[in-house]
Structure 1
Amino acid sequence: MQKSLVLKFIVLTAVASSPVPQNGRQKRSHRLLLISFDGFRWDYDQDVVTPNLDSLVEEGVKAKYITPPFVTMTSPSHFTTITGRWIEDHGVIHNMMFNPETLRKYSHKATQNKTEWWDNGVLPLWITAQNQGKKTASFHYPGGGANYSGQAVDRSLVESFTHPDSNETEWQENIDIVMGWFAREDFDFVTLYYGEPDKVGHLYGPETGKRIVIIEQIDRTIGYLRTAIKKHGLQDSLNVIITSDHGMTTVKKQPAVEEILLKKYITFKDVVKFDILDYGGFGMILPKPGKEEEIYQALKGAHPHLNVYKKEEFPENFHFAKHERILPILLYGDSGYSVNGRFILYINKGDHGFDNRHPDMRTIFRAFGPDFRKGYLAEPFDSIHIYPLMCHLLGVQPEPNNGSLAWTRDMLHAAAAEHLLLRPLLVGAAMLAFLLTPV
């Protein structure tokens, strides 16, 4: 009897996790292209003429804004989108791979090739989809160049160290390549990453005419994408999601404000073993043995716009501090206040890494294609919820994640959302039939 009950549980689990068949056989889901424009703040297009982005509002879905995870950096945020997990769960806690024992730090682009930084037991959607018979690719998307449990993405292109961020001709060529992957090589899921408008935002600040110019370029690129989709005959089979990783805010500098400079309050050589600082609005410190309390007390309240926490006291709503890679002391500045360590950097006029709840850290969300409603304005939601939406669009059973399809299902037209309601009925009927069968 016990064996029979176990067998029933296994069969019911398989029924619950399998896609709902259409007309007695499995129907192939539509394909999906995820595009990320790094640093595209939620309101960047509101003062710019953007006919193509405006058309997407009529032809698809727009969310009022997306809230990225904390910490609002490129690699951590992108990996949250592709896994649906909070940063403290997936472990990609920073743009830079670092080792507090060897004191090694790797740049953002060098980190892209470090599997040991990305592979922490959480599978990104590329691998999950491949395990379920899909064909996937990553074009410059953070994390796409790593191996996960020994598996690589079917096709992956990683940004070179000298890759130009804002070459419009190259942007169009990249779209042509991706359209070829879908049309001629039968890919199911592709992620495409662009490094703008992040670079412009850093160099010139978000409140600049150069930001307007790059948003106009992005809009032209969206127009090129829409034309390319039709040219390759993909308009009835390809869903597209356009989003970003974080926003951007103007860096507050002297003499208008007193900038945060930690060496005014602590003597680094005496108390600090290792630090990740001078990287926007966020930082971490590994104290020398016995020096944690001294550093904490020296920095707590030292600057009116510096937030200082011990790891165990970091606010839980950030879903950040519980990972083993997090150092004992965490710091972040109020919006616009960079956390400087031993000296002040005057390079960036715009930056991120600040509280993800601040409006300047919010990002965009647009979606269109055969499964999306037209002219639909969605309420704001957290970026973790993009993952279950993508799994649904691809017909992929998701890995455990922190997101929920409840936040995005209203974006889908009735036919696309139909099996969301049908699946529980089928599973319930199967469960009832099995439970009523004598054992």
Structure 2
Amino acid sequence: MKVRLELFLVATAVLTVASNPLRTTPERKKLLLISFDGFRWDYDQDVDTPNLDQLVQDGVKAKYITPPMLTMTGPSHFTTITGRWVEDHEVVHNIMFDAKTNLKVPYKQTLKRSEWWDNGALPLWITAQNQGLKTASFFYPGGGVKYKGQAVNRALVETYGHPDDNETEWRQNIDTVMSWFSEEDFHLVTLYYGEPDNVGHAKGPDHQDRKEIIKQIDRTIGYLMEAITRHHLTDTLNVIITSDHGMTRVKKRPEVDEIVLNKYLNLLKLTSFEILDYGGFGILTPRPGKEQEVFDALSNAPNLTVYKKNELPDSFHLSKSQRLPPIVVVADLGFNLNSRFIIYVNKGDHGYHNGEMDMKTIFRAFGPDFKKNFLSEPFDSIHIYPLMCKLLQIEAEPNNGSLAVTEELLLHSGGSECRRTSGVLMMSILLVVFAVL
């Protein structure tokens, strides 16, 4: 009788626990986000890339991802790290500008200018820090400034003229980042490489030098895998590898008649501000009362599309921007915008419509929380942000992404597997107890 009473009490206790399942939380993993600037989605298809190929087996791959419109380095990287469309985070160009004062600051100099980046959309570093995590940015765009007065815990900023293709330095950077994770307990690190963007601009996306850089990137991925093992991070570090935009070949004379906008309107007379001569994306501020005249004149120019800002397609997610000037010009793929003279020298470029396949980019991910040998359908880069928040187990800031798009890449969703397993175990115990009773 005493044994039955004890068993009955055990059964009652188990039932009580079963009715209030344990809400266990899996151990928090660390996250490394790597961006290879200008890595087009298909760059690994004409080059032998054994390490990138191995990642397909060891983790997940998206067929490609679509960057935001604007397909430029600053705007696109900031969309990834904030989960916000460009019209929301307001980093609307690589060049920092003020259309009222005609201020124009080159890209590398903007990397330390908080007023260009700090517009209310908090990047992931700051969100994670506000929830108790340690974060670092290694050359990642936007990482070297303050947001609401708060700096990233550790930030290295790329300087003007810094070489982007030094393979020895690439490996040293990986060693540095691995030590941050293993020796200083950082939770989130973003690591940026300026290739293959530079070689794509200088030589074009089809040049042999671009293929050599992809091989170098592949060797670097192999070194990364070795470093993760060497620092005993295999079971604790998730890695996402992606990019900001693709690259296309620039069409030049005598192949095509290049665009010179001053042939179609008097820029000095009709506009007070412009950023042209910068690839396939241009912005202009007409002089008072001249907006329609500027629009009509540019509508007659070939190989481009001109928009009034308030009439931009909803899919661009640009029309609500306060910074963007009233007139936006987007060149057809491969054409570059010249203002008054043909001074453009790049053989490859980006900045074109994000629907063009040449603007699509890569996504790879691996680590303890990712599935293996999983091929994902394409998705927009804006959805990477909620995925990173999920991996870090932090509450996301308001964003335009959706975890529903990327959650299928994960092995499980939080502690739900633990709760299901606990429930099955409890039912098994109950069956045994009642069989004895």
Shift of 1:254: 1.2
SS in structure 1 at match of 2:277: strand
Counterpart-to-counterpart distance in 1, 2:125 and 2:259: 40
Aligned partner of 2:92 in structure 1 is: 93
Shift of 1:232: 0.3
Instruction: Calculate the TM-score normalised by the size of structure 2.
Output: 0.89
Counterpart-to-counterpart distance in 2, 1:27 and 1:208: 47
Shift of 1:345: 2.4
Counterpart-to-counterpart distance in 2, 1:418 and 1:206: 45
Shift of 1:347: 1.2
Shift of 1:255: 1.2
Change (3 A) 1:272 1:420: farther
Aligned partner of 2:401 in structure 1 is: 403
Counterpart-to-counterpart distance in 2, 1:239 and 1:149: 29
Matches within 5 A, 1:360-399: 360-399=358-397
- Identity rate of aligned residues, in percent? 63
SS in structure 2 at match of 1:275: strand
Change (3 A) 1:28 1:299: same
What amino acid is aligned across from residue 291 of structure 1 in structure 2?
Answer: K
Q: Aligned-residue CA RMSD in angstroms?
A: 1.7
Counterpart-to-counterpart distance in 2, 1:406 and 1:319: 20
Q: Is the 2:338–2:344 contact (alpha carbons within 8 Å) kept by the matching residues of 1?
A: no
Change (3 A) 1:417 1:51: farther
Aligned partner of 1:312 in structure 2 is: 310
Q: Is the 1:84–1:385 contact (alpha carbons within 8 Å) kept by the matching residues of 2?
A: yes
What amino acid is aligned across from residue 393 of structure 2 in structure 1?
Answer: G
Q: Is the 1:203–1:349 contact (alpha carbons within 8 Å) kept by the matching residues of 2?
A: yes
Aligned partner of 1:426 in structure 2 is: none
Aligned partner of 1:8 in structure 2 is: none
Aligned partner of 2:8 in structure 1 is: none
Counterpart-to-counterpart distance in 2, 1:209 and 1:418: 49
Counterpart-to-counterpart distance in 1, 2:85 and 2:291: 27
Aligned partner of 1:145 in structure 2 is: 144
Counterpart-to-counterpart distance in 1, 2:76 and 2:119: 16
* Runs (5+) with no aligned partner, structure 2: 1-20, 421-437
Counterpart-to-counterpart distance in 2, 1:165 and 1:344: 27
Counterpart-to-counterpart distance in 2, 1:332 and 1:322: 17
C-alpha distance after superposition, 1:297-351 (max 9, x if no partner): 1111321x11001111111111012110010110010110111111112410000
Single out whichever of 250-259 and 62-71 deviates more from structure 2: 250-259
Q: Is the 2:26–2:414 contact (alpha carbons within 8 Å) kept by the matching residues of 1?
A: no
Q: Is the 1:409–1:417 contact (alpha carbons within 8 Å) kept by the matching residues of 2?
A: no
What amino acid is aligned across from residue 186 of structure 1 in structure 2?
Answer: D
C-alpha distance after superposition, 1:126-174 (max 9, x if no partner): 0000000110000000000111111110000000112111000000000
Counterpart-to-counterpart distance in 2, 1:419 and 1:190: 28
Q: Is the 2:26–2:415 contact (alpha carbons within 8 Å) kept by the matching residues of 1?
A: no
Shift of 1:110: 0.3
Counterpart-to-counterpart distance in 2, 1:29 and 1:108: 36
Matches within 5 A, 1:103-182: 103-182=102-181
Name the larger-Rg structure: 2
Change (3 A) 1:412 1:288: same
Shift of 1:417: 7.5
Shift of 1:25: 6.5
Counterpart-to-counterpart distance in 1, 2:373 and 2:105: 44
What amino acid is aligned across from residue 260 of structure 1 in structure 2?
Answer: I
Counterpart-to-counterpart distance in 2, 1:131 and 1:25: 23
Shift of 1:386: 0.2
Instruction: Calculate the TM-score normalised by the size of structure 1.
Output: 0.89
The 4+ residue runs of structure 1 with deviation greater than 2 A are 22-28, 414-422
Counterpart-to-counterpart distance in 1, 2:343 and 2:201: 12
Query: Number of residue pairs matched?
Result: 401
Shift of 1:26: 5.4
Change (3 A) 1:268 1:24: closer
Shift of 1:287: 1.1
Residue 359 (structure 1) aligned with residue 374 (structure 2): no
Residue 67 (structure 1) aligned with residue 66 (structure 2): yes
SS in structure 2 at match of 1:320: coil
Shift of 1:93: 0.6
Aligned partner of 1:321 in structure 2 is: 319
SS in structure 2 at match of 1:190: strand
Aligned partner of 2:283 in structure 1 is: 284
C-alpha distance after superposition, 1:208-258 (max 9, x if no partner): 111110000000000000000000000000000000000000001111111
Counterpart-to-counterpart distance in 1, 2:265 and 2:137: 43
What amino acid is aligned across from residue 117 of structure 2 in structure 1?
Answer: W
Aligned partner of 1:434 in structure 2 is: none
Shift of 1:24: 6.1
Counterpart-to-counterpart distance in 1, 2:310 and 2:215: 44
Aligned partner of 2:182 in structure 1 is: 183
What amino acid is aligned across from residue 296 of structure 1 in structure 2?
Answer: F
What amino acid is aligned across from residue 407 of structure 1 in structure 2?
Answer: V
Aligned partner of 2:82 in structure 1 is: 83
Aligned partner of 2:7 in structure 1 is: none
Shift of 1:100: 1.3
* Runs (5+) with no aligned partner, structure 1: 1-21, 423-439
SS in structure 1 at match of 2:262: helix
Counterpart-to-counterpart distance in 2, 1:129 and 1:420: 25
Q: Is the 2:333–2:353 contact (alpha carbons within 8 Å) kept by the matching residues of 1?
A: yes
What amino acid is aligned across from residue 280 of structure 2 in structure 1?
Answer: G
Q: Is the 1:371–1:416 contact (alpha carbons within 8 Å) kept by the matching residues of 2?
A: no
Aligned partner of 1:293 in structure 2 is: 292
